[in-house]
Structure 1
């Protein structure tokens, strides 16, 4: 059985709050870098999806390139990062983070994070 289907089926059978052993489920990370271009023009920002179940990486990267940004494997580059915001967890258990780069300041980044999106240290 497909690992993603197995995982979703297991979550449905176990209910909320249950611990699910995801050992053996292949995950990967990818990022969407807006520093060169994007739908709003150039931004000092990169969004990453961390520990995505393998099948979810390509759609994320495809969407990224379709909006004019630069997709890549692995987390966002850390050189020049001044801080980030934890955006949330996806249904597949992956985390979404936005990272911001100089010339933005830590205070600028903190202003972009909400109480539901905590600030991430570089």
Structure 2
């Protein structure tokens, strides 16, 4: 397994974890801590968070699908989606999203481009 494939798999796991936080743990202590929410804010935004979680699950599924098929084009497409979503989130929600989503996706894209 290549270094790029390992990183892509880790990014898929990260997005699966984000799905769990946003869909199932949003109002629980782990979700509140992860997103810096109060119980009141979490209660008001739980439907939106669940929707975001579902999208993160689709991103994870796309990466796993690309790995399963051995199709770098599929992996590149979903990594670009993650990088762009991370840039938007970093600019509009919280800067740490750039480090959590965009940087790993860009690193994986670089590894794929280098054939590593």
- Identify which of structures 1 and 2 has the higher relative contact order when contacts are C-alpha pairs closer than 8 Å and 6+ apart: 2
Q: TM-score, normalised by structure 2?
A: 0.24
More helix per residue:
2
More strand per residue:
1
Greater radius of gyration (CA): 1
